[in-house]
């Protein structure tokens, strides 16, 4: 057994051990899905960002930047959009959502919040939002499993399918055992590893090639075109591509696995500290991920799969001990996001769907076990979706991110900031946003206006539907009073 394998095994054993620790501390469904709202500022920030970025940060984004030149410009503006979206989410949504979900509606899942916020006694919002969560998180989790399979395939030469199953089983184990607290604490460890690994690799690579001047010279030799800051279409800026890249930032307002971190922080007063920590992490990691793709292109211009550039660079530059430590960053990124997505999906199915359709009264620990079983089932389906070795991590993440941003993003904002939002407007906005996003996604092959990232038309359509239908329907007095009392 080589050194890298030993390091991986030790690291994975540590993650599973954390799952066992929190297994014995889980007493009810709130503990399992929201950690009892006891997260401190550091864990909230690191967990939110580690679960946010995923294997995409070390595989998908560097792979996009590797595709000099248009790819680099798109990667840069995607990173800018994500950084802006992260900041606005922490600034405007985090504190209000934390206060509203505890003091006014006592909600522990996003579907739970939507139903309580709008007094939806027919459970339409709960069911529709839960269905969207299952659909989009299956795609999102499949992306993480695909990234894990590429990692094991590249590092150990394993068959893609075998690597896929190994990675999925490891993530499944500690998620099912420890629930939300285990996921958040492992996220914090994983986010720290990702942070330092993303800094070390490009710094050493640039030094090995003789400095930034040599890197620039090598890149210049690859094409007669000059690397531009804006994505170009001939002699003009490619507006659709630029808008699509920046549009990633809209997705933050609707990502359940990030929003639940806001709901779980110990006190709303801790949000500001968490925001500072989160933004420092985000700006540095996004910047270095793009740099890795560009430096990697200069070092290895003929790589067949650009999404393996980070792994390949590590193999060339470091010994097995250092390589093993740096490669765990990818594993950390994959595990942090996949575990969060599995848990949110399981929570939605057990609390938001099973609780509605089952006529049997289930106690708190019974609901926990239903959640654990759901984690297993969702993981199995995600494995099937990720079986294609040619799956693009960037493409899969893009699809799921856009879906959540369109279906949930506008509704989260209107729920927290516009008291005139009605139940009918909420239902219409969610369904129309999700539907437009999916239709736009499948029309991409047509080109033209359909080449813009689907989150943009989906977000706009959802917002318009919420406004128009809300203005056309009556706002119950008790909803208005609750909104005013929440000081949102």
The total number of structural domains in the chain stands at: 1
- Residue 413 in any domain: the answer is no
- Judged by DSSP in three states, 198 sits in helix
Q: Evaluate the CA torsion angle 154, 156, 160, 163 in order and state its sign.
A: negative
The mean per-residue pLDDT over the stretch 119-141 comes to: 87
- Residue 445 in any domain: the answer is no
Phi and psi dihedrals of 236, rounded to 5?
-120, 160
- Residue 452 in any domain: the answer is no
Phi and psi dihedrals of 46, rounded to 5?
-70, -40
Tell me which residue of 304, 283, 254 sits closest to 412, measured CA to CA.
254
Phi and psi dihedrals of 224, rounded to 5?
-70, -15
pLDDT at 308 over 70: yes
Q: What confidence score (pLDDT) does residue 439 get?
A: 92
Residue 265 DSSP code = B
Q: What does the alpha-carbon distance between residue 12 and residue 181 come to, in Å, rounded to a whole number?
A: 17
pLDDT at 128 over 60: yes
pLDDT digit string, tens, across residues 421-434: 999 999 999 999 99
pLDDT digit string, tens, across residues 147-171: 788 778 877 788 888 888 888 887 7
- Residue 165 in any domain: the answer is yes
pLDDT at 415 over 90: yes
- Residue 307 in any domain: the answer is yes
pLDDT at 353 over 70: no
pLDDT digit string, tens, across residues 62-118: 888 887 655 677 888 889 999 999 999 999 999 999 888 876 667 778 888 899 899
Residue 410 CA neighbour count, 13 Å, CB half: 29
Residue 16 or 359, more confident:
16
Is the separation of the CB atoms in 403 and 65 below 8 Å? no
What is the residue whose two structure tokens read 């804006």?
230
User: How many C-beta atoms lie closer than 10 Å to residue 356's C-beta?
Assistant: 12
Listed in sequence order, the residues at least 6 apart from 425 whose beta carbon sits closer than 8 Å to its beta carbon are 414, 465, 466, 467, 468, 469, 470, 471, 473
In the structure, what pLDDT confidence band is assigned to residue 315 with cuts at 50, 70 and 90? confident
- Residue 216 in any domain: the answer is yes
pLDDT digit string, tens, across residues 389-407: 766 666 777 888 899 999 9
Lowest mean pLDDT among 257-271, 280-294, 330-344: 330-344
Which residue segment(s) compose the domain that 227 sits in? 3-389
Q: What confidence score (pLDDT) does residue 94 get?
A: 93
In the structure, what pLDDT confidence band is assigned to residue 28 with cuts at 50, 70 and 90? low
Report which secondary-structure segment, H or E, holds 233. strand 232-233
Residues facing 237 on adjacent strands: 232
The model's pTM is: 0.82
Q: What confidence score (pLDDT) does residue 179 get?
A: 64
Q: What confidence score (pLDDT) does residue 70 get?
A: 57
The mean per-residue pLDDT over the stretch 453-474 comes to: 95
Residue 378 DSSP code = H
In the structure, what pLDDT confidence band is assigned to residue 24 with cuts at 50, 70 and 90? low
Report for 25-39, 133-147, 236-250, 465-479: range of highest mean pLDDT? 465-479
Q: What confidence score (pLDDT) does residue 87 get?
A: 96
User: Burial, 446: exposed, middle or buried (Cβ in 10 Å; 0-12, 13-18, 19+)?
Assistant: exposed
**How much is the mean pLDDT over the chain?**
82
- Residue 403 in any domain: the answer is no
What is the residue whose two structure tokens read 């000099």?
68
The mean per-residue pLDDT over the stretch 269-297 comes to: 93
- Residue 411 in any domain: the answer is no
CATH number at residue 305: 1.20.1730.10
């Amino acid at each position: 057994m080589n050194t890298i394998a030993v390091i991986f095994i030790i690291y994975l054993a540590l993650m599973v051990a954390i799952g066992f620790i929190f297994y014995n501390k889980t007493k009810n469904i709130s503990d399992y899905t929201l950690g009892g709202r006891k997260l401190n500022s550091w864990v909230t920030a690191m967990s939110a960002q580690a679960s946010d970025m995923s294997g995409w940060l070390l595989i998908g984004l560097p792979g996009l930047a590797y595709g000099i030149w248009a790819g680099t410009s798109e990667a840069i503006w995607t990173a800018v959009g994500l950084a802006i979206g992260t900041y606005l989410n922490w600034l405007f949504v985090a504190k209000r959502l934390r206060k509203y979900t505890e003091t006014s509606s006592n909600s522990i899942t996003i579907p739970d919040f939507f139903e309580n916020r709008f007094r939806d006694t027919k459970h339409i919002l709960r069911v529709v939002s839960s269905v969207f969560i299952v659909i989009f998180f299956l795609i999102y989790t499949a992306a993480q499993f695909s990234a894990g399979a590429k990692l094991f395939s590249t590092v150990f030469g394993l068959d893609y399918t075998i690597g896929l199953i190994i990675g999925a089983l490891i993530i499944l184990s500690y998620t099912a055992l420890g629930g939300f607290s285990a996921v958040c604490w492992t996220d914090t460890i994983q986010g720290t590893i990702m942070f330092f690994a993303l800094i070390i690799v490009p710094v050493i690579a640039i030094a090995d090639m003789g400095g930034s001047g040599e890197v620039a010279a090598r890149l210049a030799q690859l094409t007669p075109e000059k690397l531009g800051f804006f994505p170009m279409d001939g002699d003009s800026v490619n507006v659709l591509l630029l808008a699509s890249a920046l549009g990633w930032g809209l997705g933050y307002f609707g990502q359940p696995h990030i929003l639940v971190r806001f709901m779980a922080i110990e006190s709303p007063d801790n949000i500001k500290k968490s925001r500072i920590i989160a933004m420092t992490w985000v700006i540095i990691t996004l910047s270095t991920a793009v740099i890795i793709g560009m430096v990697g292109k200069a070092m290895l211009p003929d790589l067949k799969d650009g999404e393996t550039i980070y792994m390949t660079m590590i193999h060339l530059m470091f010994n097995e001990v250092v390589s093993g430590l740096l490669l765990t960053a990818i594993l950390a990124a994959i595990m942090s996001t996949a575990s969060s997505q599995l848990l949110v999906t399981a929570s939605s199915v057990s609390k938001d769907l099973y609780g509605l359709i089952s006529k049997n009264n289930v106690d708190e620990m019974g609901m926990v076990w239903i959640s654990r079983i759901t984690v297993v089932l969702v993981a199995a389906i995600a494995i099937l979706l990720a079986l294609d070795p040619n799956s693009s991590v960037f493409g899969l993440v893009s699809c799921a991110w856009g879906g959540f941003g369109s279906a949930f993003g506008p509704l989260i904002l209107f729920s927290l900031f516009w008291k005139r939002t009605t139940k009918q407007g909420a239902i219409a906005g969610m369904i129309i946003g999700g539907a437009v996003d999916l239709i736009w996604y499948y029309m991409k092959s047509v080109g033209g206006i359909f080449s813009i990232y689907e989150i943009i038309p989906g977000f706009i359509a959802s917002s318009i539907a919420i406004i128009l239908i809300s203005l056309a329907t009556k706002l119950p007095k008790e909803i208005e009073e609750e909104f005013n009392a929440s000081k949102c």
